[in-house]
Structure formats: C-alpha cells, structure tokens
C-alpha cells in the first residue's frame, strides 16, 4: 500500500469501536470484534476506517477527553490487538486512521492533575491559566447547551483554566514547546505502530491570542505544518484530516500550499444537502460548491452526511437553521447546541427515496466520502440517551438477541421502535438485493469502477429546473451525467443539446437515451455514463 495519494479517492467509514462489535461478551465493542467484521467492510467497499478515540479516558466526552495518549483503554483490548487489527485490515487493503486530540486532554490526565496541584509542577504550563475569566473575551462557546464560559475556576490551582469544549477538557498550552514536542511524539507513536493517519480533532483552537477569536491563528497553522513536515519525512503515506468547522475560504488555509493537511471535512456542504432537500431547490448546494476554491492537487475534501456528533448547523443562517429544525428536528429533544442529534434515516423520516438521494449526492459530488457506521443500513437513534450518545448505539448485525452485537448486556440501551434491530439489521439487508445496504454497496462499487466519479472534475448542467441538481463528472472518454430531483414532485429536466446522446444507466446497467427532456420521479436520481 504505497500510493501516497490514496486518500484522494477513497471511501471512508467512521466507527465507534465501543458500539461496533463485542467479541468477549462484556457488552462493550472491542478491537477484536472490529477485526472480525473487516470482511463486512471490505465487501461494502470501504478503503479506510476512521476509529473514534480508544485511549484511556473517563469518558466525559466519549473518549475525546484523553487520560493517556500512549495506550488503549482495556475495554477495547490491548495494543497487541490493535496491531492485529491493523495487520488484518492492511491485508484486506483497508487503511485505519484514528482521532488525534491535540487541543485538550481530560482533566483526569496526570499532566492536569499535577498542573492543578502545584504551581511549580513541570506540567503547570501545559495548560492555559489565568487569575480572572476576562482574558480572550468574546470567544465563542462551542458546547453552549452546557458551558457558559471558556474559563473554569479550579479550586486546587486557585486559578481559572481555559477550555473550548467541556470544562472536563482543559486546553493544552501550545505556546509551551514541551507540549508541541509531546504531541509530535504522540503522532510518531501511533504511526510507528502502523496507523495510517489521523482525523485531527479540533485543530482550529490550538493557540490563543488576545484580541482575536482564537481560531485558526497563524501560530496554529505553523505548528500543524511542522507536524506535516515530520509526517512527510518519516511516514510519507500517512494523512492528516482536519476537523475544522469553517467556511471554505478559511478551510483552505488548512491545505495552504499542500503542505499542511491532506484532507479537510467540507463542513458547509453537509447542511446544504439537507437544506436543498427541504427547499426542493438545488441552489444552496450549487452556491457553496461555486464558493469553494480550488485546492492543491495533493489535497482532498472529505464529504459526509452524518457523523458521531450532532448534525451541526453553525454554517447556515438563522433563518435556514430554523427551517431545518422545523423540518428535521420537530421535537425539542432532537436539538443539541446548534444542531440536530439524530441519525440520517430518522432525520429523513425513513424515506428510502430521500436516503438514497442524499447518498447519490455523497457518492457523486467531488471529495472522498465518509460513511457513518450503521447509516448504510438506515439505523435509527435513541433519543432517550443524553448528549450525542443516541447516535452511537450498537451496530445492528442481525435479529438475534442484542442485534448480534454482544452476547452480554450492551453498554447502552439499544434503539427501539421502528428502527429496532428486528426491523433494521445487516443480515436481513444482505439477503435482499433491494435493501438500502445493497444500494449503498452498489453506489460505492460504481464510484470505484468509474474514475470520473472519484475525480474532482465537476461541471454544472443547466436543466431549467431549480429542483434538479445536474452535473457532469469527468470528461472525454469517461463522463457521467448525474441528475438528482430534490423535490417531492415529478420534475422535468431540460437536457442541453450537447448531452442529448445515448448513454448507459449505471444502476440498471442498460442503455439510456437522453432526449431533450428527462422526467424524474420525486426524490429520484440517475447516473448516466455518456
């Protein structure tokens, strides 16, 4: 696996190890369980797995609060089991990236424990302290449903400490050269073990400077570039993927000259897919992609529909957010911070047409797509669970007790009602050629079969119908015309003269003649190879 640009056209799959597959019956998913399911992922067409944090942690933020950067929490298994997983994945041509949480540690990390206990501790300066809570005034609060300030008073330290997320996640002080070096050691440690790169958590917030919004500061970019230089020198096939919820023009600073991140999530595109669907009008998608600058040739966007967090609506206007809440989060309990804490299928009312349509966009628009585990079978969520836990419930493998996830009692309450595992599970959907799982599998395999779908070439096709999003992918010998009807009504799309030709309907695998007009069923899509 030596292609250093592998990520430019790869299908990613995000996994909560705890929720994926339990191998030893303790109710918690583990590394061995995941290893046992690699063939499933291979079959689905996954090229790279992103595993959420598996480090020791008090789990105040489900592992994004790390108490030890150099080991694996024993509920998941051992470092040896991780090595076995990596080997088994690599044998199947699947890569593995994991979360690198740079910005903060757990407050139970020994560094913080030492720092708060003693002003003279070598770790005191690992964190950001102040005597009052007035510094960096006006910096936005991210977990605004829970936190009221980015400063928290610490009784032991007799000072305030700075945190951009929960108050159990003190920010590291990147002005301290020891912190900078330490985190490079962490990177080396995991890459040496065979990990293929990192989804870098919250890289936006590493440095703080008075009078700024403390986001994406020049110092932050400089440090990230230093990390990239080290990776390029010693681990040339490994990648850094930025989790930075910003506008495209700011996001591209994370690529810069192709010498910072390899990849970045396209955060603003994601809500616009749902917005366009709610409006029955494609303009929001067209506009954001037109506003997305060209990126260096060695970089790539990662696109996604859902992940383990709430579907964040920070990147839309107040008006658009209200519309989306009305449409997709009709009950108060579905809203979290500025987002929606539901899974893909429930958000779309389990309407198979809509679920397929948004996936059609995901797999045909430019960027490397990331699937969230379970969304390929249309799993539901459990709104009884707090915070974002409702979208992190056990994978539903079959209709046996506990969904084939665990022989013991699962770590959390499973999904109930319409999305119960008796109704939604992998085994059933494997058996049927018409299941959502089979459709997603087909989309992935078509995407891989046709380089045009995996490239970055995109040309809008004018259909004289705002409800239809039409575009040409690729060019010359391999060009694919994609038509998506975002509306609840049948729509007629005008086909410009140059595309009125004979082609191949990729899903039905049979000839398709493009005439002056194409009639599209509600929420339907067509992929035509010209």
Residue 491: which of 474, 511, 470, 473 has the closest Cα? 470
Least CB distance to ligand NOJ at residue 199 (A): 8
- Asked if 201 is an active-site residue, the reply is yes
The two three-digit tokens of residue 455, written as one number:
């490239």
Least CB distance to ligand NOJ at residue 165 (A): 4
Characterize the bridge pairing of strands 300-304 and 368-372: parallel
When asked if residue 242 is in the footprint of ligand NOJ (CB under 6 A), the reply is: no
For residue 477, give the 3-state DSSP assignment. Answer: coil
When asked if residue 372 is in the footprint of ligand NOJ (CB under 6 A), the reply is: no
For ligand NOJ, give the closer residue by CB, 75 or 312: 312
Instruction: Please identify which of the residues 171, 201, 309, 381 carries the catalytic annotation.
Output: 201
Rounded-to-integer distance, Cα 405 and Cα 409, Å: 10
Binding mask 307-346 vs ligand NOJ (x if CB under 6 A, - otherwise)? -xx-------------------------------------
Least CB distance to ligand NOJ at residue 61 (A): 5
Q: What is the DSSP secondary-structure string of 109-123? A: SHHHHHHHH-TT-TT
Residue 393 DSSP symbol: P
For ligand NOJ, give the closer residue by CB, 76 or 165: 165
- Count residues binding ligand NOJ (CB under 6 A): 9
For ligand NOJ, give the closer residue by CB, 64 or 301: 64
Are the C-beta atoms of 459 and 453 separated by less than 8 Å?
no
For ligand NOJ, give the closer residue by CB, 22 or 61: 61
- Asked if 462 is an active-site residue, the reply is no
Interface with ligand NOJ in residues 125-144 (CB under 6 A): none
When asked if residue 31 is in the footprint of ligand NOJ (CB under 6 A), the reply is: no
Q: Contacts by 313-319 with C-beta closer than 8 Å and gap 24+?
A: 313/271, 313/338, 313/339, 313/340, 314/245, 314/267, 314/338, 314/339, 315/245, 315/247, 315/267, 315/268, 315/270, 315/271, 316/271, 316/272, 316/275
For ligand NOJ, give the closer residue by CB, 303 or 360: 303
Walk across the sheet containing 335-336 and list its strands.
311-312, 339-340, 335-336
- Answer positive or negative: Cα dihedral of 114, 118, 121, 124: positive
For ligand NOJ, give the closer residue by CB, 311 or 528: 311
Rounded-to-integer distance, Cα 374 and Cα 436, Å: 11
Least CB distance to ligand NOJ at residue 310 (A): 9
Least CB distance to ligand NOJ at residue 27 (A): 22
First to last CA, the chain: 32
Cβ neighbours of 369 (radius 10 Å): 24
Least CB distance to ligand NOJ at residue 308 (A): 6
Are the C-beta atoms of 379 and 419 separated by less than 8 Å?
yes
When asked if residue 107 is in the footprint of ligand NOJ (CB under 6 A), the reply is: no
Interface with ligand NOJ in residues 66-105 (CB under 6 A): 101
For ligand NOJ, give the closer residue by CB, 165 or 267: 165
When asked if residue 171 is in the footprint of ligand NOJ (CB under 6 A), the reply is: no
Instruction: Please identify which of the residues 171, 196, 243, 381 carries the catalytic annotation.
Output: 243
When asked if residue 165 is in the footprint of ligand NOJ (CB under 6 A), the reply is: yes
Cβ neighbours of 480 (radius 10 Å): 22
Among residues 72, 202, 241, 340, the one that binds ligand NOJ under rule CB under 6 A:
202
For residue 83, give the 3-state DSSP assignment. Answer: helix
C-alpha to C-alpha distances, 407 to 29, 137, 410, nearest whole angstrom: 11, 51, 8
Least CB distance to ligand NOJ at residue 81 (A): 24
For ligand NOJ, give the closer residue by CB, 6 or 304: 304
Phi (first) and psi of residue 445, to 5 degrees: -70, -35
Among residues 22, 47, 61, 107, the one that binds ligand NOJ under rule CB under 6 A:
61
Least CB distance to ligand NOJ at residue 336 (A): 11
Rounded-to-integer distance, Cα 154 and Cα 528, Å: 61
Are the C-beta atoms of 501 and 530 separated by less than 8 Å?
yes
When asked if residue 267 is in the footprint of ligand NOJ (CB under 6 A), the reply is: no
Are the C-beta atoms of 499 and 514 separated by less than 8 Å?
yes
How long, in residues, is the chain? 530
When asked if residue 64 is in the footprint of ligand NOJ (CB under 6 A), the reply is: yes
**Sites of contact with ligand NOJ (CB under 6 A):** 61, 64, 101, 165, 201-202, 243, 308-309
Kindly list the catalytic residues.
201, 243
């Amino acid at each position: 696996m030596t292609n250093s640009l592998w990520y430019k056209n790869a299908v990613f799959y995000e996994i909560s190890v705890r929720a994926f597959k339990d191998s030893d019956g303790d109710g918690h998913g583990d590394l061995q369980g995941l290893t046992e399911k690699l063939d499933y992922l291979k079959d689905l067409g996954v090229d790279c797995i992103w595993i959420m944090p598996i480090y020791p942690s008090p789990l105040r933020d489900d592992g994004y609060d790390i108490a030890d950067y150099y080991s694996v929490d024993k509920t998941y298994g051992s470092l040896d089991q991780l090595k076995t997983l990596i080997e088994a994945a690599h044998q199947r041509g699947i890569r593995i990236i994991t979360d690198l949480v740079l910005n903060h540690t757990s407050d139970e990390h020994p560094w913080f424990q030492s720092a708060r206990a003693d002003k003279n501790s070598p770790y005191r300066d690992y964190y950001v302290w102040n005597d009052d809570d007035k510094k960096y005034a006006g910096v936005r609060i991210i977990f605004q449903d829970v936190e009221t300030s980015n400063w928290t008073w610490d009784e032991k330290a007799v000072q305030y400490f700075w945190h951009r997320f929960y108050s159990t996640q003190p920010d590291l002080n990147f002005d301290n050269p020891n912190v900078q070096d330490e985190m490079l050691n962490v990177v080396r440690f995991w890459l040496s073990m065979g990990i293929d790169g990192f989804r870098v958590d919250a890289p936006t917030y590493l440095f703080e400077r008075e009078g700024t919004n403390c986001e994406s500061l020049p110092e932050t970019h400089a440090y990230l570039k230093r990390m990239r230089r080290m990776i390029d020198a010693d681990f040339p096939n490994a990648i850094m993927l930025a989790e930075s919820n910003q506008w495209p023009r700011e996001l591209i600073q994370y690529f810069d000259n192709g010498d910072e991140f390899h990849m970045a999530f396209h955060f603003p595109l994601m809500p616009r897919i749902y917005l366009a669907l709610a409006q029955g009008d494609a303009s929001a998608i067209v506009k954001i992609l037109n506003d997305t600058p060209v990126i260096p040739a060695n970089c790539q966007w990662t696109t996604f529909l859902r992940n383990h967090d709430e579907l964040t609506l920070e990147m839309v206007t107040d008006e658009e957010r209200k519309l989306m809440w009305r449409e997709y989060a009709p009950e108060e309990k579905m809203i979290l911070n500025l987002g929606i804490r539901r899974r893909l299928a429930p958000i779309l009312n389990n309407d198979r047409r809509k679920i397929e349509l948004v996936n059609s966009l995901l797999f045909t628009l430019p960027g490397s797509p990331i699937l969230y585990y379970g969304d390929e079978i249309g799993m539901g969520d459990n709104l009884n669970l707090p915070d974002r836990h409702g979208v992190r419930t056990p994978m539903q493998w079959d209709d046996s007790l506990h969904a084939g996830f665990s022989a013991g009692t699962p770590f959390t309450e499973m999904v109930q009602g319409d999305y119960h595992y008796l109704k939604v599970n992998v085994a059933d959907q494997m058996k049927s050629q018409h299941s959502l799982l089979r459709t997603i599998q087909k989309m992935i395999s078509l995407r891989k079969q046709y380089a045009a779908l995996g490239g970055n070439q995109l040309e809008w096709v004018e259909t004289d119908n705002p409800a239809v999003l039409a575009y040409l992918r690729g060019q010359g010998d391999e060009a694919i015309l994609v038509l998506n009807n975002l509306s609840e009504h049948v729509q007629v799309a005008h086909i410009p003269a140059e595309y009125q030709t004979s082609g191949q309907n990729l899903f039905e695998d049979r000839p398709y003649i493009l005439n002056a007009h194409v009639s599209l069923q509600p929420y339907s899509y067509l992929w035509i190879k010209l």
